Amino acid sequence: MKKNNIQKSLVALTTALFLMSAMPGDEPITKNGKETIVNTTTIAEDVKGYIGTTPLKIYIVNNKIDHIEALPNQETPKYFLKVKKQMLDKWNGMTVNKAVKADVDGVTGATYSSDCLKQTVKRGLEYYKKHK
């Protein structure tokens, strides 16, 4: 009986943690001094990679991309790590307008994750332009 209760508790805890991680946690746009941070968790929740979404935080300073941070996701870690290493810094230093139009190369063997990442960046930057 105790084992069953522990299992139920673990399932409930896991479900609660998942739901909390699926919630934005941050507003879509937050400001920290001169830095604006765009959280794409809710902005691009319909953009799917191989398994699911690839939420990001896009850090913008003086209308230029400072850096992009990948948030937890369900993509295959081995492939998404390649995408993060080879793609995330490609937008660094670009103005928002240039970055929205940029044709960044994807990662061979991780096409779905690459395409999702590109669409998520674009969606986040378009949201920024409308709501900054």
Cα gap 71→41, rounded to integer Å = 8
The per-residue pLDDT for 132 is: 85
pLDDT at site 106: 94
pTM of the model: 0.79
The pLDDT of residue 88 is 95
39 exposure class (CB count in 10 Å sphere: 0-12, 13-18, 19+): buried
| Range 77-106 average pLDDT | 96
Question: Using CA atoms, how far apart are residues 111 and 97, in angstroms rounded to an integer?
Answer: 24
Task: State percent of the chain over pLDDT 70.
Answer: 80
Residue-wise pLDDT tens digits, 24-49: 456 899 999 999 999 999 999 999 99
Q: Calculate the CA 87 to chain-centre distance.
A: 13
75 within 8 A of 86, measured Cβ to Cβ = no
Is pLDDT at 67 greater than 50 in this prediction? yes
17 vs 32: which has the higher pLDDT: 32
